[in-house]
Amino acid sequence: MRMNEHPDHAGPAIVVEGLVNSFGDFAVHDGLDLTVKRGEILGVVGGSGTGKSVLMRSIIGLQRPQEGRIEVLGADLSDQDPNGETGIRSRWGVLFQGGALFSTLTVGENVEVPIKQFYPDLDPALRAEIARYKVILSGLPQSAVAKYPSELSGGMKKRAGLARALALDPELLFLDEPTAGLDPIGAAKFDRLTRELKETLGLTVFLITHDLDTLYEICDRVAVIAEKKIIAVGTIPELIATGHPWIEEYFGGPRGRSAHDAHLRGEA
């Protein structure tokens, strides 16, 4: 997002090493490693219950891992106070599955919340203006700015959630199933918006998805979670070349093939 290079802008955006997460006797992650490069859109796929969301929650500090090292934008988060990471928290934005908007605030006021939290001295008029343009930048109409979340459709809630995630001009964006529950047209639009924002703002995007079209259209690389680890990371052809049975089934099934065909038609 920012023009010039800070010293810490050089390294990878996210480094996860030897992550171990378990709930009781059930281990979700066992020695998981992952590196997200700066400026890429990384898609994370895996069967239901393989710990995609847990991985995201570990990275953003909502879930304390049993073991492992997590480094985000050059800062080591493994042994920091979960409530004290304000510096790093202002440099990422998170879009939760259902949008997770504050229901008693309007969409615009929702976007204001993080700005108020991190920059309380900012002039309220400017803050309101920033909130408004972020909402419109996220593809919502002007009329939606003063509406309450309960007055919005599911797709609009996701866009409003995206506006709040973008409130602080983050360098890193976490999206948890952004296109789930959207109609195909809305999903395609959301994909395009993600791509556009990534290109204009220079974002790094960590994207959890089940949507094969999203993977083909906008992801630079895809990481596959299975067997409590990341079993492969790479472009989709690279993944298929690994010959892992789960990956073959995932991309080689009827849905995978049709998404691939659609992608080829789109390029032609």
Partner 1 sequence: MQTATQYTLENLGEDAGTARLALSGHLTLAHIGPLEHDLRQIAGPIGTIDLKDVEEIDTVGAYVVCRIAREHDSDITGASPAAERLLAAVRGLDEGGDIRAPRSPVWERVPAALGEKIYGARRGVSGVVGFFGQILIGGASVLRHPRRFPVKALVHQMELVGVSALPIIGLMSFLIGIVIAQQGSVQLQQFGAESLTVNLVGRITLRELGVLMTAIMVAGRSGSAFAAQIGTMKLTEEIDAMRTIGISPIEVLVIPRILAATFMMLLLGFYASVMAIIGGAVVGDATLGIPFITFLLRIQEVVPTHDLWVGLIKAPVFGLIVALAGCYHGMQVEGNSEEIGRRTTMAVVSAIFAVIVIDAFFAVFFTEIGWG
Starting at the earlier edge strand, list the strands of the sheet with 92-95: 92-95, 172-176, 204-208, 41-46, 221-226, 229-234
Q: Which stretch binds partner 1 (CB under 8 A): 121-129, 152-160, 212-220, 252-260?
A: 121-129
Position 121 contacts partner 1 (CB under 8 A) = yes
Residue 128 identity (one-letter amino acid): A
**Contacts of residue 176, Cβ cutoff 8 Å, sequence gap at least 6:** 53, 56, 94, 95, 96, 97, 208
> In whole angstroms, what separates CA 263 from the centre of its chain?
22
- What is the Cα Rg of the chain in Å? 19
Residues 6+ apart with CB under 8 A from 223: 34, 42, 43, 44, 45, 230, 232, 233
Q: Does 104 bind partner 1 (CB under 8 A)?
A: yes
Length, in residues, of the chain:
268
Query: Is 10 near partner 1 (CB under 8 A)?
Result: no
Q: Select from 45, 55, 145, 173 the one that contacts partner 1 (CB under 8 A).
A: 145
d(CA 159, CA 110): 12
β-bridge partners, 76? 71
Residue 2 CB, nearest approach to partner 1 (Å): 5
**Which range touches partner 1 (CB under 8 A), out of 43-51, 125-133, 206-214, 216-224?**
125-133
* Contact flag: residue 130 with partner 1 (CB under 8 A): yes
Query: If we measure between CA atoms, which residue out of 264, 71, 53 comes closest to residue 177?
Result: 53
Tell me whether residue 132 or residue 159 sits nearer to partner 1 (CB atom): 132
Calculate the alpha carbon distances from 129 to 149, 245, 246, 262 in Å.
Answer: 19, 51, 48, 40
**Of 38, 69, 116, 147, the one binding partner 1 by CB under 8 A:** 147
| Sole binder of partner 1 in the list 140, 152, 168, 225 (CB under 8 A) | 168
Kindly give the residue spans of alpha helices, DSSP state H, lying in the chain. 52-59, 86-89, 107-118, 124-137, 154-165, 184-201, 212-218, 236-241, 245-252, 254-267
Interaction pattern, residues 18-57, with partner 1; x per rule: CB under 8 A: ----------------------------------------
Interface with partner 1 (CB under 8 A), residue total: 42
CB of 89 to partner 1, least distance (A): 13
Stretch that binds partner 1, among 109-117, 184-192, 251-259, 260-268 (CB under 8 A): 109-117
Q: Which stretch binds partner 1 (CB under 8 A): 137-145, 152-160, 217-225, 234-242?
A: 137-145
Of 16-24, 193-201, 207-215, 239-247, which segment contacts partner 1 by CB under 8 A?
A: 193-201
Q: Which of residues 215-234 bind partner 1 (CB under 8 A)?
A: none
Write out the residues near partner 1 by the rule CB under 8 A: 1-4, 103-104, 106-109, 111-112, 115, 118-119, 121-123, 126, 128-137, 142, 145-150, 168-169, 199-202
